């Protein structure tokens, strides 16, 4: 279900139809990717994860300024596609408990 949600959001972004909900789903995926990398699952991809987060920040800021119309630029799509592949690979290797722990710690961090 999680993969379908993420890939649907990426497809909507690629097609130029991304909504705020799609962007939120992608931000969630990026945050979980980073959280898992910080716990040793795919940590060698940290520079690419950071690049995708920076691309998402630029994309989201433009979208908000453009009346919530989210249009990705080519390099942003490249960075985001790569990290979605990393995220999928992480999800294949971690247990549900590891994923839930990473998500829980991420939520606790965001509350602070």
* pLDDT digits 0-9 by tens, 3-26: 899 999 999 999 999 999 999 999
pLDDT in tens, 34-66: 999 998 999 999 999 999 999 999 999 999 999
Answering whether pTM is above 0.85, one says yes
Average pLDDT over residues 77-106: 87
Higher pLDDT, 29 or 105: 29
Band (pLDDT 50/70/90 cuts) for residue 99 is confident
Q: What is the pLDDT of residue 112?
A: 38
Query: Residue 47 has which token pair?
Result: 């520079």
Q: Which residue has the tokens 């993420």?
A: 6
Contacts of residues 104-111 at CB distance under 8 Å and 24 or more positions apart, as own/partner, are 105/35, 106/31, 106/32, 106/35
């Amino acid at each position: 279900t999680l993969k379908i949600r993420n890939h649907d959001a990426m497809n909507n972004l690629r097609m130029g139809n991304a909504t705020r909900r799609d962007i939120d789903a992608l931000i969630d995926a990026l945050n979980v990717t980073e959280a898992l990398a910080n716990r040793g699952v795919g940590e060698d991809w940290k520079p690419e994860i950071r690049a995708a987060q920076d691309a998402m920040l630029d994309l989201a800021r433009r979208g908000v300024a453009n009346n919530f119309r989210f249009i990705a630029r080519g390099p942003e799509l490249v960075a985001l596609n790569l990290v979605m592949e990393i995220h999928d690979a992480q999800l294949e290797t971690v247990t549900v408990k590891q994923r839930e722990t990473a998500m829980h710690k991420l939520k606790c961090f965001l509350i602070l």
